[in-house]
Amino acid sequence: MSEAVHEDVLAHVEDGVGTITLNRPERRNALSQAMISGVTRAMTEMEASREVGVIVITGAGGAFCSGGDVQVFDQQGGEGGGADQVDPALVEQQRLHQRETVGRIHRCVKPVVAALPGAAAGAGLGLALAADLRIGSERTVMATAFGAVGLSGDFGVAWLLERLVGPAKARELLFLGTKARAQECLALGLINQLVAEDELLPATHDLARRLAAGPSQALAGMKQNLLRAPFESLEASMDAEVPLHKATGTTQEHLDAVRAFVRKEAPTFATGWHDAGARA
C-alpha cells in the first residue's frame, strides 16, 4: 500500500521492493524541503526494514527530478538567499541535506535502483547517479544544468560523474551543460538498461525483485567492496575483501547455495535483509 511519507514523496513496499516516488509532477519533481525530508525518512526506514531488500527511486509525471527549484531561487533572491555573503548556517543545512539524500543512497547497504522516466538534472542528476543501477526509457535525459543558472554544482554531481564517465566527459557535461539523451546515456554507462517508456517501471521492478531474492549478505559485502575500491590500492582492496568474503562463507545463504549448486538446483535465499552485513 502506498503512503505519503511527506507531501512531496510517496513510499510503497511490495514483494521485498521499497519504492520511493518523487511527487511534484507540476514542478517536474524539483526539490523542495518537504521532498528532501521525505526522501531522508523513506530511505532511513526502508534501509532498516526487514521487509525491504531493494530500494527503487523514481519520479511521478514523466520526470525523475529537475533539480533545485529555480522559481524558489528567484523568489528568495537566488540560491544564496538574497544575502551578499554566504550564511554559514545555510552551508551546514545544505551539507546535511546532501549527506541525507545522495550520501544515504550511495552508502545504503541495500541495492538502490533509479528508474528515470524523463529528465534527471542538476541535484536530481546527483540523486540518480548515487544509485547502484539506473534504468531509462526513450524519454530519459540527463544534464548537469548548473551553468545555465550560474551555479557551480552540488549534490555530488562532479564526484559521481568523474567516476562514472571519466574526467574529460565529466568536464564536458559540467562546463557546457550538454544534455545526454537516452542512447548516449546508455553508451556512456550513465544508465545500465534502456527500455520502452511503458516498460520502465515493470522492467525496474523485475530487476528489483530479482535482487531482493538474491543473497543479501553477499550483496551487502559486494557494495562495501565497491565503495572502498576507488580509494585503495589493489593490494589493500584485496586484503579488505578477505574478512568480508570469509564472513559470507559462514552464512546460511552461502551453505544453502553451495548445496543447491552441487545438486544442480537453483538457489533460494531466505535469510532476509534484516541481517545483511551483520557478520560482514
pLDDT tens-digit readout, 77-132: 767 666 677 788 888 999 999 999 999 999 999 999 999 999 999 999 999 999 99
User: What CA–CA distance (Å, rounded) separates 205 from 55?
Assistant: 10
Whether residue 272 has pLDDT greater than 60: no
- Per-residue pLDDT band at 280 (split at 50, 70, 90): very low
Give the per-residue pLDDT at 1.
Answer: 43
pTM as predicted: 0.90
Instruction: For CATH 1.10.12.10, list the domain ranges present in the chain.
Output: 216-275
pLDDT per position as a tens digit, 153-173: 999 999 999 999 999 999 999
pLDDT per position as a tens digit, 5-20: 778 999 999 999 999 9
> Does 3-212 carry CATH code 3.90.226.10?
yes
Give the per-residue pLDDT at 73.
Answer: 73
Phi, then psi, of 4 in degrees rounded to 5? -85, 105
- Lookup: cell for 246: 570469509
Tell me the CATH class for 216-275. mainly alpha
Q: What is the mean pLDDT of the chain?
A: 91
Give the per-residue pLDDT at 68.
Answer: 85
Residue 112 CB partners (closer than 8 Å, separation 6+): 54, 55, 56, 57, 105, 130, 131, 132, 133
Instruction: For CATH 3.90.226.10, list the domain ranges present in the chain.
Output: 3-212
Query: Residue written as cell 535482487?
Result: 211
Q: Judge contact between 221 and 249, C-beta under 8 A.
A: no
Angle at 108 between CA 178 and CA 96, to 5 degrees: 70
